[in-house]
Amino acid sequence: MTATLPTTPTADERIAELRGQIDQCDAEIIALVHRRLAVSQEIGELRRATGGTRLSLAREKQVLARFSAALGGDGAALGMLLLRQGRGRL
């Protein structure tokens, strides 16, 4: 009876595993963006129904600051894309 050593994945196998993880992350991000858009639309509808403006610039500044603080300049750009989608423009 010969003992077998555990095998380690090849670089290609590991890359495939990691890409699978990225694909899962992307699916989760897409689902969260859809959820965020639905919430944003409901907020806009409630604001309009109560005579308010569709947008709150102060709130948008808070969102952009949060994304920028967490992710830097690219985070601010990502936050802006999400805000634009929530407004129905992308």
71 band by pLDDT with thresholds 50, 70 and 90: very high
52-69 per-position pLDDT tens digit: 887 889 999 999 999 999
**Res 3: pLDDT:** 67
- Is CATH 1.20.59.10 the right assignment for the domain spanning 13-86? yes
**Side chain identity at 24, as an amino acid letter?**
Q
Reference 74, options 25, 62, 82; nearest CA is 82
Residue ranges covered by each domain of the chain: 13-86
- Residue 80: pLDDT over 90: yes
Cβ(66)–Cβ(57) below 8 Å: no
Distance CA 69, CA 62 (A): 10
